[in-house]
């Protein structure tokens, strides 16, 4: 027998998240009364009152904890829907299935799942990228549930790992709490018991318990309460302990809560208060899983996927077969250290150490490791991540440095600066004229492309890196044909707290380490990743609080994350707009 829940169920839930009225209840295959008792083994029906929808782009007043010019200098645009029903990412689904079913290795079912729509948001876990489930998506979840239930129920040893008894009631209660990330309601238990009791009527050689357990697992893994994380209940009230356990675990562990966390969630005051949630987050941030989660964050934040397309002429310092992979892994290792050693945003710009792979050493002028990566002291011209090879080589042309892309990356990714709309097409750079520096060539080339955008934001930021060539090597002079020309890497930038000048990239890094806008931008990225939504100008006070923690002495990234968990935006149910 194959359990097939209504395809309309999950689609209804996805649509409900857009903003309707009612409660997340429904009827499963054995309960057609739709009486709103929460008896939902595998599908959703009825109405929903999940507040959501509606963007909030109002600027309001500027909070006291941020400079008055922040709204115009910090890009805080987007269309957050404040959904209170969020689908698990494919990675979260995979890890959750492995943990719930006590599998020795991650299941591979999600390798064929549809991926979140990319490019429309900063992070792939954004609510807007995870809303839709179409017919194929439904079939993916259904097929996976059927296969996994059969795999577990047909293996007595595997089945005993998730429940050692042979009674349906105990199995439903224990496994159901893991799947739903909360205890089941009386109605849900009754509906699953009906399914379990159908087991003996099925054909096959398995025991009555195994057959009943297989039916229950098949239904539970298709339930929207497994496929989605919910924040239901009265608007503008704190999340319950179980909701907070699910939110923290799926974020910082990338998987469903374990039994110990669910036990903690049951205790009043442990996870349903700001202090309790922050204490649990602090514990999780020291676990290996959090390091892996933050590795993904930094990879998306700084677009490490672009290294896959890096192409340069083969030669000393660049092997097309190995260098791109070395550059991306050395980047990950750098940010792994910043996070796991309790360092902060300042250290991203001031660190004097970096990780070196075998083909990168020549450009750094250091000894190469025989294999793998080693941490090396960088020379005085290379402080912070953005003066190391990965950033410099990624943002360069085959024949030299690329101040335009270096400037764009720093402005958008590091400072969240609004660059405005580009008003035309920028043709390729022309060959340099005799006696012309790269800076003069780029300035002349971009002069007609928008004075404010290029001449005041992109170019001045990008020219700070002119001492580094297209391979990321430092140079005192610039060569044009037979001429050696002096390099001008000075500039100025209008930050949220005023215009600041710098003479070169090293001075710029020292400036960025303490600049308010740097910390506000990093806080914005962290908040967007943690809240799973766009962060807009109405979130300025929250960003100011996080930036203050980041700027303080010893303000580690871990402490900023803990501060985010304390914010109402993280731990209080959205009221929504519909």
For the chain, what are the domain ranges? 7-284, 398-420+435-514
**pLDDT above 50 for 353:** yes
pLDDT digits (tens, 9 = 90+) for 56-93: 444 457 898 999 889 889 999 999 999 999 999 999 99
Query: By three-state DSSP, how is residue 505 classified?
Result: helix
Contacts for 353 with CB less than 8 Å, ≥ 6 apart: 375, 376, 377, 378
d(CA 409, CA 390): 13
Torsion of CA 312, 313, 316, 317, to 10 degrees: 10
| 452 pLDDT tier (thresholds 50, 70, 90) | low
**pLDDT above 60 for 192:** yes
CB–CB of 146/217 below 8 Å?
no
Concatenating the DSSP letter of every residue in 55-106 gives ------SPPTTS-TTHHHHS---------SEEEPPHHHHHHHHHHHTT-SS-
The predicted structure's pLDDT at residue 425: 64
**pLDDT above 90 for 132:** no
Please write down the HEC assignment for all residues of 398-457: CCEECHHHHHHHHHHHHCCCCCCCCCCCCCCCCCCCCCCCHHHHHHHHHCCCCHHHHHHH
**pLDDT above 60 for 47:** no
Return the DSSP state at 458.
Answer: I
d(CA 527, CA 121): 13
pTM over 0.95: no
Burial level of 549, CB count in 10 A (0-12/13-18/19+)? Answer: buried
CB–CB of 528/535 below 8 Å?
yes
**pLDDT above 80 for 422:** no
């Amino acid at each position: 027998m194959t359990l097939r829940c209504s395809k309309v169920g999950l689609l209804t839930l996805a649509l409900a998240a857009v903003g309707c009225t009612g409660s997340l209840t429904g009827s499963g295959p054995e309960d057609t009364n739709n009486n709103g008792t929460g008896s939902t083994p595998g599908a959703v029906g009825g109405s929903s009152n999940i507040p959501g929808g509606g963007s909030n782009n109002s600027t309001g007043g500027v909070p006291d904890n941020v400079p008055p010019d922040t709204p115009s200098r910090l890009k805080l645009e987007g269309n957050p829907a404040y959904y209170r029903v969020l689908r698990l990412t494919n990675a979260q689904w995979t890890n959750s299935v492995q943990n719930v079913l006590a599998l020795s290795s991650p299941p591979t079912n999600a390798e064929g799942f549809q991926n979140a729509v990319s490019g429309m948001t900063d992070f792939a876990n954004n609510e807007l990228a995870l809303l839709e489930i179409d017919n194929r998506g439904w079939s993916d979840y259904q097929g996976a549930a059927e296969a996994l239930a059969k795999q577990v129920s047909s293996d007595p040893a595997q089945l005993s790992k998730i429940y050692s008894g042979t009674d349906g009631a105990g199995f439903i209660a224990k496994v159901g709490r893991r799947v739903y990330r909360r205890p089941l309601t009386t109605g849900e238990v009754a509906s699953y018991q009906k399914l379990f009791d159908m087991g003996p009527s099925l054909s096959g050689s398995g025991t009555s318990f195994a057959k009943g357990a297989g039916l229950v697992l098949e239904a539970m893994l298709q339930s929207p309460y497994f496929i989605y994380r919910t924040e239901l209940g009265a608007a503008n009230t704190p999340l319950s302990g179980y909701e907070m356990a699910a939110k923290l675990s799926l974020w910082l562990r990338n998987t469903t809560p374990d039994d110990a966390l669910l036990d903690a969630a049951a205790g009043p005051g442990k996870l349903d208060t700001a202090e309790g949630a922050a204490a649990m987050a602090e514990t999780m941030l020291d676990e290996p899983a959090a390091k892996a989660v933050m590795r993904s964050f930094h990879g998306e934040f700084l677009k490490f996927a672009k290294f896959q397309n890096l192409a340069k002429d083969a030669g000393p310092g660049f092997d097309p077969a190995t260098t791109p992979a070395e550059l991306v892994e050395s980047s990950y290792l750098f940010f792994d250290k910043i996070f796991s050693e309790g360092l902060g945003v300042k250290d991203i710009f001031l660190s004097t150490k970096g990780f070196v792979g075998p083909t990168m050493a020549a450009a750094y002028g250091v000894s190469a490791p025989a294999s793998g990566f080693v941490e090396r002291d960088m020379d005085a011209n290379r402080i912070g991540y953005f003066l190391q090879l990965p950033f410099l080589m990624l943002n360069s042309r085959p024949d030299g440095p690329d101040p335009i892309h270096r400037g764009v990356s720093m402005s958008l990714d590091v400072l969240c600066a609004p660059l405005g709309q580009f008003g035309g097409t920028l043709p390729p750079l022309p060959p340099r004229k005799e006696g012309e520096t790269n800076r003069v060539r780029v300035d002349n080339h971009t002069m007609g492309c928008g004075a404010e955008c290029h001449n005041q934001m992109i170019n001045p930021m990008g020219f700070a890196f002119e001492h580094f060539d297209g391979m990321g090597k430092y140079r005192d002079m610039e060569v044009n044909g037979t001429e050696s020309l002096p390099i001008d890497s000075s500039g100025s930038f209008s930050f949220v707290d005023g215009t600041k000048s710098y003479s070169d990239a090293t001075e710029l890094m020292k400036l960025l380490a303490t600049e308010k806008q740097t910390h506000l931008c990093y806080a914005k990225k962290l908040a967007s990743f943690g809240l799973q939504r766009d962060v807009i100008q109405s979130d300025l006070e929250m960003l100011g609080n996080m930036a203050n923690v980041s700027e303080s002495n010893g303000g580690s990234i871990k402490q900023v994350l803990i501060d985010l968990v304390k914010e109402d935006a993280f731990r209080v149910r959205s009221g929504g707009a519909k």
